[in-house]
Amino acid sequence: MAGLKDVHYDAFISYRHSEFDSFVVENLHKKLENFKLPKSVLSKVKSGKTKITRIFRDVDELPLADNLSDPISAALANSEFLICVCTPRYPQSRWCMKEIEVFLQTHPRDHLLVLLAEDEPVNSFPEILNYVEEEAVDENGNKVKVRREIEPLAADTRGTTRKEVLKAMDTAVIKLAAAIFGLNFDDLKQRHREQKMRRMAAIFGSIGAAVLGFAIFATCMLVKISRQYDELEDRFANTMATASHTLVEDGLRKDAVYAVWDVLPDTDNGKVNGNALSALYTAMNVYKVDPGYFPVSSYDSYSQVYDIDWTYDGKYLLTNIEYAIVVYDAETGEDLGEIMKDDENLFSEVFTASFCGSDGFLVSDDDEVTYYKIGSEQGETVGIPAPSVLFSTPDTVVGVVGDKLYGVGTGGKVLFETDMSEAIGSGDFAAEYFSFTDDLISLCLSDLNDDGAKYIVIADRYTGEIKDSLKSSSTSGIEAQLGGEILYIGVSKVDDETAEQYTDVITYDLSKGSAVWKTRLDGFALGEDLVDMLVTENYVYVSSTYDVAAINRIDGSLVKVHTLPQPVVTAWPQGDIMITVLTNAESYAIEGDYSADFTDSLYEVVPKENITDANYLNGDLYFMFERASYISRYSASVSPRAEKIDDYDVSGLYDDYKSADDEILEDSDAYNLPIYTFDTSFYSKDEEFIVAMFSDHTVRVYDRASKANILSFITEDETYQSDMYYSELTGSYIISGEFYSRILDQNFNIVSVVDRIVGEEDGCFVLYTKDYMFFKVPYVGYDEIMDETYKYLDGYEPEESVKEKYGLR
């Protein structure tokens, strides 16, 4: 940040960090930096400035830091103008008011600009914008300070919808730009309109001349333009299909649905883009019978997520973002309310939240702990000091302050306050690691006054009574996992003689008060903030950053240390197998001395973004992505339409379809047939077309009369397509390979990709999976999928940042 003093800004945007205000500022910032002056006014700009090159807003320019006052002050001093984005929340921010005061210390008042974004000026303008103190002489000749009312230069972007706000912003940007460039607003607005009209005239001038001069030619041109428009729409639909697939991979399923819903007609009018429709079927999860993980919900937090927490029943989750705690319904993704941070704790060292049972949560800041019911913005102060970390169980929350252990139950009731000094001595302790059973909790503590002292405390989960305590001389990490009456401990140390790191893994019998076995892992250091120790029937798995040690649970013998390509962010047991998810979203399965890449088996759609935090809860995976403002929930559940059946006779569906091999091979030159990759071919039902399949995974449709290749597509499966039949259910064709089938429309466009179709009955497809299971799934036609999509979106519209990133409209 030292170089910030040398950075010059055209303007500094002062605003309140709430969701709507941030939306306005993001679009204002972009439009100002993209604003272009008409050439006709350049000579009138006295400063010689030709464009707005740099705007300061803290979300882009500065990382979160303990003290932002110096960089903010430097940015204000080096900004030519201050733009205050005013809403009813803006005057409530002491931080924003301070920005105005600091700016006016070094700048003239006419360099302070205002954007009214919401409500009326009386509610949104702070007093400092409406009044100025001046020196005057009273009736006695004394100099006094008087307040004079002033009217700030304000642009207006208010609207009843965000679309109206964005529309109004175009005029507001011209007004602000006029002030920044020192121009007259009306003149700049007129020149800007003329500039826009000239550009439009340049585009359409030749067409307009042709229309005026040649009526017949104009008609032809209109037809051509209409065709070009249809082609552009079709190309855009293809682009949205690609965007939809990318959004699914990024965990933004609802946005993926919106992307293609927006480019499809309400009814099948014969101009449906097959790629967009296929992407819609995929995003809507219509025919999913594969048990792989697929994104089902996303929770948009509007700002970068720093921490997350879940209720143990999987009903709710919350995110800790820059300016708020946001709570969501985990199933629907609905935002159930926000607890706004005030300016005093916006950048506090301590601001953490944790669910307290399944109906409410605790928020801890620098000063106090507050309990909130889900859906309520009014909290109740809990009578305990503020811990730096809150640890939750299904019905209690635990925190450590100094040498005291606190427990809070459902409803925010304080359950216990335990003095730990008799067990571990007096001091100031920080809790690092936590685990629990039905009755007990274990905490790993560091003595902040003694760098080498670490403790493990075992206490009753509901009364806080200390059951046992252990001291360790660990110089690095420490972890402990409760398993019945056995405590599994990992302690990382540095060898005094060799200076090499190692980790001791110890099992401690709580009932006997003694160790059962101890295993040393040389060159092994426990990972930080990554994954718990896992205990299965036969193994204890201990994780470092890249390594996982498998230890025999009975005798403590080291089975194997497995080295993984990326750090582990979450793991869970399946029997004796440890399933891991790495930061790059890959998955590895480990069982004793065996490990294997499990990625393709785990997912149906593999996330593309790097994962910074994850949780496996009730069979679902929750992912937090690098620099992302949202959480995604991935589920392995199949489509709710799907019905598993025990067995099915797979013969007969493809057997009777007529081969076209003799004809197409005999006249291969006329068909321009890639003979070396040709595999098989079939006639269409009316025998007007030939559908040919190739070993390079392509499928080509030929018109028999002209022998022209009218359509080609790539299937990109593990095996190439080899079968085809006409479906009475869909009124179109199905082509299939060993594992997958493609439902085509009457124009041979792919409508949907599903597991291999082996039968049709009762209005359903019978699907056969790679895992050798059969499912019946009802056929979903165009009208039905569009109706379901309409209900699913329910007026939803992606955030502008998502639209901009993925090119949505």
pLDDT at residue 71, as a whole number: 75
Whole-angstrom Cα distance, residue 757 to residue 733? 12
CB 191 within 8 A of CB 41: yes
Give the three-class secondary structure for 78.
Answer: coil
CB 431 within 8 A of CB 444: yes
Please determine, for residue 198, whether its predicted confidence score (pLDDT) is greater than 60.
Answer: no
What's the pLDDT band for 68 if we cut at 50, 70, 90? very low
pLDDT at residue 211, as a whole number: 43
CB burial of 438-467 (b: ≥16 within 10 Å; e: otherwise) equals: eebbbbbbbbeeeeebbbbbbbbbbebebe
| Greatest Cα pair distance in the chain | 115
What's the pLDDT band for 156 if we cut at 50, 70, 90? very high
Helix (H) or strand (E) holding 54: none
Give me the amino acid identity at 319.
T
pLDDT at residue 293, as a whole number: 94
Whole-angstrom Cα distance, residue 730 to residue 227? 29
Give the three-class secondary structure for 444.
Answer: strand
Lowest mean per-residue pLDDT among 4-8, 373-377, 414-418, 689-693: 4-8
The per-residue pLDDT for range 598-647, each reduced to its tens digit, is 998 999 999 988 998 888 988 999 998 887 888 899 999 998 899 999 98
Highest mean pLDDT among 41-50, 214-223, 773-782: 773-782
* Phi and psi angles of residue 59, each rounded to the nearest 5 degrees, phi first: -65, -25
Contacts of 357 (CB under 8 A, 6+ apart): 311, 394, 395, 409, 410, 411
CB 92 within 8 A of CB 82: no
The per-residue pLDDT for range 289-313, each reduced to its tens digit, is 988 999 998 888 777 788 888 899 8
**DSSP letters spanning 675-741:** TTTEEEEEE-TTSSEEEEEETTSEEEEEETTT--EEEEEE---SS---EEEEETTTTEEEEE-SSEE
| Assigned token pair, 393 | 């169980």
If one compares 54 and 138, the residue with the highest pLDDT of the two is 54
Lowest mean per-residue pLDDT among 327-331, 435-439, 449-453, 487-491: 449-453
If one compares 197 and 767, the residue with the highest pLDDT of the two is 767
- For residue 406, count CB atoms less than 10 angstroms from its CB and return exposed for 0-12, middle for 13-18, buried for 19 or more: buried
Which residue reads 């379809």 in tokens? Answer: 657
CA 108 to the chain's CA centroid: 43
Q: In 261-334, where do the E strands start and end?
A: 294-300, 305-310, 316-321, 324-329
Q: Choose among 550, 576, 577: nearest CA to 563.
A: 550
pLDDT at residue 193, as a whole number: 63
Contacts of 293 (CB under 8 A, 6+ apart): 602, 603, 604, 605, 621, 634, 635, 636
Q: Choose among 7, 8, 101, 102: nearest CA to 47.
A: 8
**Average confidence (pLDDT) over 735-759:** 89
Please determine, for residue 559, whether its predicted confidence score (pLDDT) is greater than 90.
Answer: yes
pLDDT at residue 667, as a whole number: 92
Which of left, alpha, beta for 696 (phi over 0: left; psi -120 to 50: alpha)? Answer: alpha
DSSP tag of 53: -
CA 577 to the chain's CA centroid: 29
What's the pLDDT band for 151 if we cut at 50, 70, 90? confident
**Average confidence (pLDDT) over 330-349:** 73
Calculate the alpha carbon distances from 351 to 348, 429, 661 in Å: 6, 18, 70
What's the pLDDT band for 62 if we cut at 50, 70, 90? very low
Lowest mean per-residue pLDDT among 49-58, 347-356, 430-439, 729-738: 347-356
| Assigned token pair, 350 | 């301590």
The per-residue pLDDT for range 376-398, each reduced to its tens digit, is 888 999 989 988 788 999 999 99
If one compares 164 and 441, the residue with the highest pLDDT of the two is 441
What's the pLDDT band for 270 if we cut at 50, 70, 90? low
Please determine, for residue 462, whether its predicted confidence score (pLDDT) is greater than 90.
Answer: yes
CB 429 within 8 A of CB 402: yes
The per-residue pLDDT for range 508-536, each reduced to its tens digit, is 888 888 889 999 998 888 765 455 688 99
The per-residue pLDDT for range 562-603, each reduced to its tens digit, is 999 999 999 999 999 999 999 999 999 999 999 999 998 999
First vs last C-alpha separation in the chain: 37
Contacts of 301 (CB under 8 A, 6+ apart): 319, 321, 326, 629, 630, 631
pLDDT at residue 135, as a whole number: 80
Whole-angstrom Cα distance, residue 62 to residue 60? 6
Please determine, for residue 685, whether its predicted confidence score (pLDDT) is greater than 70.
Answer: yes
Give bridge partners of residue 457 from the DSSP assignment: 443, 469
Whole-angstrom Cα distance, residue 645 to residue 673? 42
| Assigned token pair, 81 | 């103008």
Please determine, for residue 215, whether its predicted confidence score (pLDDT) is greater than 70.
Answer: no
pLDDT at residue 66, as a whole number: 40
Whole-angstrom Cα distance, residue 125 to residue 90? 8
**DSSP letters spanning 556-615:** --EEEEEE-SS-EEEEEEETTEEEEEETTS-EEEEETTEEEE-HHHHBSS---SPEEEEE
The per-residue pLDDT for range 535-555, each reduced to its tens digit, is 999 999 998 888 999 999 999
Lowest mean per-residue pLDDT among 9-23, 108-122, 226-240, 788-802: 226-240
The per-residue pLDDT for range 13-31, each reduced to its tens digit, is 999 988 889 889 988 998 8
Please determine, for residue 221, whether its predicted confidence score (pLDDT) is greater than 60.
Answer: no
pLDDT at residue 662, as a whole number: 93
CB 425 within 8 A of CB 433: no
Please determine, for residue 115, whether its predicted confidence score (pLDDT) is greater than 50.
Answer: yes
**Average confidence (pLDDT) over 251-256:** 91
Give the HSE-up count for residue 596: Cα atoms under 13 Å, Cβ half-sphere. 7
Share of the chain above pLDDT 90, in %: 36
Give the HSE-up count for residue 450: Cα atoms under 13 Å, Cβ half-sphere. 15
What's the pLDDT band for 670 if we cut at 50, 70, 90? very high
Give the three-class secondary structure for 145.
Answer: strand
Q: What is the pTM of this model?
A: 0.68
- For residue 128, count CB atoms less than 10 angstroms from its CB and return exposed for 0-12, middle for 13-18, buried for 19 or more: middle
DSSP tag of 178: H
pLDDT at residue 256, as a whole number: 93
